[in-house]
Structure 1
């Protein structure tokens, strides 16, 4: 059979496979309607009560930062940032947005710089996964104090993820040179109405991904009924549910809790990545982004493992 015949056969089989998958999924959703409903309600609660109230105001603030902050290329901070990351000093804004306000604000700010011509395609590709970070409020208060009962542990988790992002960002910046683009140093007119509208639409997109992946995770958990498997899978899907399941499931020895939490926070889950993809231009490699986030997650777990042996 020739290569062309194989390709033709695959194309002809694709609609049948898709139809079978849709029918199978519909049957599963009907059989497990209560489990799916419960998971979706949980996702809506997570999005409405914990995520959007935190993300929405900072999205408006992020637009304000982009329009009002000035980055002076001659400043010591800007020069150090450029030297370490081999990237335009303007990228300091999305880095601070991601580090202080959490995902997806770092990516949103980075895309804003790219659209204004302040950073190049390669710089955005390197920058976007590094600045898509969990907020200190979520990690320290929600995970540390809330789930682990220790804000100190939350601080350690947060800085392990932040350090891992910096290390991976520097690693992928080796043999690179800063672009010739002018830094994003001129103030722009701040449009409050447009910022609120954009923040509202972005918040709805974020909530939609959280609800979707919460539903998927709920179905998987109901089908397999294996706490360890469901918890591991949750780290790949949705970070809010994952952190809760890691601590509350009791499926893993205590020594693995911190590394698993660190990996979940560092990788951040497909829900967060889909949010980032909704902002990123099509020309940015999603495969490279995911590989970078996976490395950040693994490095975060490695950094926290020694402490978990002492805890």
Structure 2
């Protein structure tokens, strides 16, 4: 089946590009503009700073306020805490990239690496507060943030149990022998080029879905969100009623889109981390986020009905 299907797929894609070259050019332009205006200036400085912090031995100092809680709750090492925080604050795919590099450098154990891949790759707060919040009602911002980040706790606890992560496997971080800014810059630029390529490709797919999809507007917007979240966020906010749009947005932002999965796969670098496990965890995360948003909405609605 693979032999018959996979050679056919690029032929179909090539046919679409030749049939609608204008759409392909427009989608590629949208993706490159998004990459140049949003992703590159926000993610590249974080990558460079992260490389310098790790190389100069600044990880213990940076995570010191959070280590007691994270180590006791999730059995994370000092290096694991840094991976977790960088993925939480910097956005896709910074958490996966740092996790892969730390595992390759033996700064974290394989068990902890699997746990961290499940819980350290999220949309950044800047993205949710800026891009996602701008497309929704202001009243949805706080529930959306809670819905995306709160499920990290049960997922981390489940991953700790499934991957048998314990305090006995913790490793101490160490500074690298030397730090080359040029090497760090080239490594970061290489990663950014990969991300830009996937953003461009999936932006082309998004514009084809928007233009040629025979499905309803709601279904098409949901497929857009599953494909590429930046385009999907605006489509969902315009196509779905406000009562349900928030729950759909919570799912697609927590899931990260197929584009996010490909970006994550590109930075793992054969570190022994399973992209299949990652996808399953993201589906669980998206489902929990959707349920959390619905629960918060119902709680808020019930609170508004109660007498003061």
The 1:201–1:179 alpha-carbon spacing in structure 2 relative to 1, beyond 3 Å, is farther
**Which residue number in structure 1 is paired with residue 220 of structure 2?**
230
- Aligned positions, number: 294
Offset of residue 222 of structure 1? 2.4
Distance 1:259 1:142 in 2: 17
8 A Cα contact 1:119 1:179, kept in partner: no
**Which residue number in structure 1 is paired with residue 292 of structure 2?**
303
Distance 1:222 1:76 in 2: 49
Structure 1: gaps (5+ residues):
1-9
**Which residue number in structure 2 is paired with residue 156 of structure 1?**
143
- Deviations 1:45-71 (CA, angstroms, capped at 9, x unpaired): 111111111111111111122223242
Distance 1:77 1:19 in 2: 49
**Which residue number in structure 1 is paired with residue 34 of structure 2?**
46
Distance 2:112 2:269 in 1: 13
Offset of residue 136 of structure 1? 1.0
Q: Which runs of 4+ in 1 moved over 4 A?
A: 17-20, 185-188
8 A Cα contact 1:266 1:293, kept in partner: yes
Structure 2: gaps (5+ residues):
302-308
Q: Find the partner of 1:261 among 237, 240, 249.
A: 249
**Which residue number in structure 2 is paired with residue 62 of structure 1?**
50
Q: CA RMSD in A?
A: 2.4
Q: Find the partner of 2:184 among 178, 195, 200.
A: 195
Secondary structure, in 3 states, of the residue corresponding to 1:71?
A: helix
Give TM-score, length-normalised by structure 1: 0.86
- Deviations 1:273-307 (CA, angstroms, capped at 9, x unpaired): 21111121432111111010111111111111134
More deviation in 35-44 or 53-62?
35-44
Give TM-score, length-normalised by structure 2: 0.86
8 A Cα contact 2:251 2:286, kept in partner: yes
Question: Is residue 118 of structure 1 aligned with residue 107 of structure 2?
Answer: yes
